[in-house]
A = this chain, B = another copy of it.
Amino acid sequence: MKKHEEQFLEYLSRKKLKNTSQRMIILKAFLRQKSHLSTEDFYLQLRKKHPGIGYATVHRTLKLFSECGIASERNFGDGQMRFEVSLDNEHHDHLVCTDCGRIIEFEDPQIEKLQLEIAQKHDFVIKDHRLELYGLCGDCQATA
């Protein structure tokens, strides 16, 4: 996991950006968090420990993470942008419970392969994809 930090620092110097205490704090907090937090939620979380850091800075820094490749932006269609730590180059997809909001990650090489075939058939070169399955998780099926 050191890799992410290095990658970020390298990106900063490559772009002649400055290494600030805020950026480091946000980076550490970001790497520590597991779930797919919206900018807002992440900010609120962070503010508990670091009340001085403003929303704008959090927002800008998350964008930086995304630019340098250590974060991916997600959009589950609820109007909130979400960020997650990108683990190496493995793409993964999401299973979202529409009731409790739980998000489970998965990946399926077979589906990926089929996607490539579809792209070929339409003469597309795929750069990225998103696959989200919406439904009810076990718990929520029970209470429904």
Please list the residues of chain A having a beta carbon within 8 angstroms of any beta carbon in chain B.
Answer: 75, 77, 95, 97-98, 104, 106, 108, 110-111, 114-115, 118-119, 122-138, 141
A115: shortest Cβ distance to chain B, in Å?
A: 6
- Which one of A114, A122, A126 has the highest number of Cβ atoms from chain B below 10 Å of its Cβ? A122
Are A141 and B119 also in contact (CB < 8 A) when A114-B110, A130-B130 are? Answer: no
Which B residues are in CB contact (< 8 Å) with A127?
98, 134-136
A132→B132 CA distance, assembly (Å): 9
Q: A119, B138: Cβ atoms under 8 Å?
A: no
- Smallest Cβ-Cβ distance to A75: which chain B residue: B77
Are A115 and B130 also in contact (CB < 8 A) when A122-B104, A122-B106, A125-B141 are? Answer: no
